[in-house]
Structure formats: structure tokens, C-alpha cells
Copies of this chain bind each other. A is one copy, B any other.
Amino acid sequence: MDTTQKLIERREHLLGRAYRLFYDEPVHIVRGEGVWLFDADGRKYLDVYNNVPHVGHCHPRVVEAIQQQARTLNTHTRYLHETILDYAEELTARFPAKLENVMFACTGTEANELALRLARATTGNDGMIVTDHAYHGTSWAISQITTCYTPPDKRASNIVTVPAPDMYRGRYAGDPEAANKYAEHVRQAIEKLASNGHCPAAFIVDTVFANEGLPTVPDGYLKKAADIIHQAGGLLVADEVQPGFGRLGRYFWGFERHGVIPDIVTLGKPMANGYPVSAVVTSRHITDAFSRQAHYFNTFAGTPVGCAAALAVLEVIEEQDLAVKSANTGDYLIEELQNLATNHDMIGDVRGSGLFISIELVRNRDDLEPAVEETARAVDLLRERGVLIHSTGVFDNVLKIRPPLVFDRTHADLLLQELSDVLGEISCPGPRNG
């Protein structure tokens, strides 16, 4: 493909070498609609990967909201405007009563930055506990808690990690005491912080542990961890950038699944279907503690256009009943994937909730050797067959399913068929090693 090669060269020439593309043969997408993406040759791809276009690529309601507001007014939060308030009202109505204040930012990174400032201001502490192999963002401070990229020797002494719970291959897999044992690591982390001279400001956790591979978490773990961090004077920060807004089906937010109410919730990616909007939702005593130390302003955050887009997303989720649909399609897909596992030994584990599902591929089911190369090959083969999917997890052997929420059973069937064929192709003896 001559055009593709030219675009790749132009990219490197103009953007430098730090940018990466998906796939050895990158896709040149020119149009999107619902769960479909179309390349420059008119080829269509089922989008099983992108969680930002939450209510579907180019949803007309969101596009219309952006257009109407963009041609009317776009200013900032130092003038009065109703839309930011209408949205904050709609958003907080979906949270437990104590999470009553919304503060806006533009990216998940910025929301997590703000959460850390709030936690520090409220507790007077600066210690941070975070899971291993977590992703929380790209700024300097947030890269310190993005433990999948920043190695231990590059982290400051106020950052301490705990293992992410994992009932499939984690250290307490199968242990009925796993929740207590994992929570005990939080207590040890607090002790380690103390020995480093820090008290805990917060334990921050992606409530589905997405970057850790969406592991199954023992019941009660997060509740116990929250109690421990609270007793030590710290806060629980729930990073809901990926799990939030109904993706999990029966749970509008990931923390609900754990039966716990966080002190601070951070939101991002799907919030405005791709318009850069993020936020922190928290309690009044926390915004009060912060406001005694600082004012807050972010030029592009909480603007009329951003809030109009975010409001349209909430309305579409409700009117199209997307959380319920996500639950139903997700249940169906998980069941069918488990059926698929009876024919494909490589499927070691299927887990998730709603339309956030992971498939862990293993070379055998005895020692759970991660099928790393096979996972990469499955991603490539599925792309060849017009299905866009990607991998994640500590070993990068987990296929990650998190499509726009308009993904329905017919799309699930298509994915199941292609995945079955691809796994068959990979496991067959053939020209490649393995």
C-alpha cells in the first residue's frame, strides 16, 4: 500500500519517532459510525477496542450537541453558564449522595493530577499507594504512579506499590483468604511509607484493574483495603476513567462492584465520546479543604461545548438504555467465550462485566504459561479479518474487549466466529514455530 507507506514516512518526518502506530501494517481510518471503522480503501472494521467513542463513533446526538454549542458560545468557568451546572447535576445524580461535587479537567491525567492535589490538601499527607503494573496517565507526577512504565528505582520514596489482586494467576489464587491477604499488602505499604518518612494521602486504584489484565478480584478486597487506608488517614481514589459510565453493565461505576464508596472518583475517556473532557467527583469536605489552599482554573475544562457533549453522552446512555444492553450483550459474550474455551485450550480464562471483557491466552492450562506470541498473532490475524482488538495484562497475553456500547449480539457473533477461526489457525501446526 503505497499511500500507507507515504503516511508512515510523513508521520515520522513531522511527528518524530516517539509516536507509535498499531499493527505492523497500520490501518488508515477515514470514517467511523457506531461500532464500525472504515479505512481509506472502504474496508470496514468491527471496533472491539475503542472505549472513547462510548455511545458509538460519531453519534449524531453528540455531534449535534457539539455543533449547536460551538456555534453559540464557548468560554470558560469564570463566567456563569448553565450547561456546566446541568451536567454536574446529572452526573452527581448517578453517584452516592456523599459524592456531590464535580471539578473539571481535560484528560484522565489531569483528573488524576487534581485527585492527588485534593488528597494531599485534605489529608496533609503525600504518600501514595498504587497497584503494580497500573496505568494512571502521563504527566510527571502521574507517571510516578503509572507503575507499568516507571520502574521502582525511578519512583520517589512517597510511592509504594501493592500487588493487584488476581484470582487466576495471582499469588493467592484459589485461596479463600485472598481478600484479606491482598488487603494486608495495603497495611504493609502504609508501614513502608512510614519507614520512608511519609503518611498516606491516598490509595489509588483502577476499579477494574484494566491495565493489570482485568483480573477477577476476591469479594471484599477493596472494602478491606479502603478500611485500612482510612484508618491510616488516607483516602481511596477510584480511577474510573476506563470502567465508568455503564460499560460494566450492571454497575454504572466500577467501585459499585466492590461495595465500596470512594472518597474521590476520577473520570475521563468515554465522558464526552472523544471531546476532551475529564472530571473529579468528590465530597464537599474535600473540595472545601482544597479551596482553603488554592483556587482552581483550567482554561479548556468545564467549557460550554465540553459540557454539552458530556451531557449528550449521558442522555444517550439513558435513552438507548446502553448500560442494560451492555450487561445483556456482555453476559451473552462471556457465556459464548466460555463455550469457545471448551474447543480452544488456549483460552485460559474469560472474565469481565458488561462490555469490558478479557480473554487470557495460555500455552497450557496446567502451568498457565502466558501465550504471548499467540496473543500478538491473534491481534494481527483479527485485524486481517476486519476486527480491531488489542492485548493487555502484565504478560501482554490478555485480549481486551471494550467496544463502543452500541455493540450488540450480531457484533458479538461476528467477533466469536472470527476469534474461533483465528484461534484454530494459531493452534494448528503450521509453517510458524509453536
The CA-CA distance from A298 to B28 in the complex, in Å, is 19
Given contacts A19-B296, A287-B18, contact A139 B138 (CB under 8 A): no
Q: Are B28 and A79 in contact, CB atoms less than 8 angstroms apart?
A: yes
Cα–Cα, bound, A15→B67 (Å): 25
A116 close to chain B: CB less than 8 A: yes
Query: A300 — which chain B residues lie within 8 A by C-beta?
Result: 52, 106-107, 274-276
Of A70-78, A331-339, A391-399, A422-430, the one with at least 4 CB within 8 A of chain B = A70-78
Q: Is A32 an interface residue (CB 8 A)?
A: yes
| Cα–Cα, bound, A14→B295 (Å) | 16
What is the chain B residue whose CB lies nearest that of A91? B14
Q: Which of A1-36 contact B (CB under 8 A)?
A: 4, 7-8, 10-11, 13-22, 26-32
Q: Could you tell me the distance in whole angstroms from the C-beta of A22 to the nearest C-beta in chain B?
A: 5
Q: Are A14 and B74 closer than 8 Å at their CB atoms?
A: no
Residue of B whose beta carbon sits closest to that of A297 = B20
Q: How far is the CB of A268 from chain B (nearest CB, A)?
A: 8
**Nearest B residue to A286, CB-CB:** B16
Interface-centre pick from A7, A19, A149, A295 (highest chain B CB count, 10 A): A19
Query: Are A269's CB and B110's CB within 8 A?
Result: no
Is A162 among interface residues, defined by CB-CB distance under 8 A?
no
Q: How far is the CA of A110 from the CA of B78 in the complex (A)?
A: 21
A295:B73 contact, CB within 8 angstroms: no
Query: Chain A 142-169 against B: per-residue CB contact (8 Å), 1 yes, 0 no?
Result: 0000000100000000000000000000
Number of interface residues of A (CB under 8 A): 90
A226 to B212, CA, bound (A): 45
Answer yes or no: A63 CB below 8 A from chain B CBs: yes
Indicate whether A92 reaches chain B with its CB closer than 8 angstroms: yes
The answer to whether A66 and B70 have CB atoms under 8 Å apart is: yes
Q: Which of A109, A117, A291 has the most CB of B within 10 A?
A: A109
Number of copies: 2
Contacts of A284 in B (CB 8 A): 16
**A80 surroundings in chain B (CB, below 8 A):** 4, 7-8, 11, 21, 26-29
Among A81-89, A180-188, A368-376, which stretch is in contact with chain B? A81-89
Chain B residue at minimal CB-CB distance from A67: B67
Task: Give the contact stretch, choosing among A53-61, A215-223, A230-238.
Answer: A53-61
27 A–B contacts from the bound complex (CB under 8 Å): A7-B85, A11-B84, A14-B88, A15-B84, A15-B101, A17-B291, A18-B103, A22-B78, A26-B79, A27-B80, A29-B73, A29-B81, A30-B72, A30-B73, A31-B72, A60-B71, A63-B70, A75-B274, A106-B276, A107-B298, A107-B300, A109-B139, A109-B298, A110-B138, A138-B296, A139-B139, A140-B140
Q: Which residues of A are at the interface with B, using a C-beta cutoff of 8 A?
A: 4, 7-8, 10-11, 13-22, 26-32, 37, 50, 52-53, 57-58, 60, 62-63, 66-67, 70-82, 84-85, 88-89, 92, 100-103, 106-110, 113, 116-117, 138-141, 149, 268-269, 274-276, 284, 287-288, 290-291, 294-303, 305-306
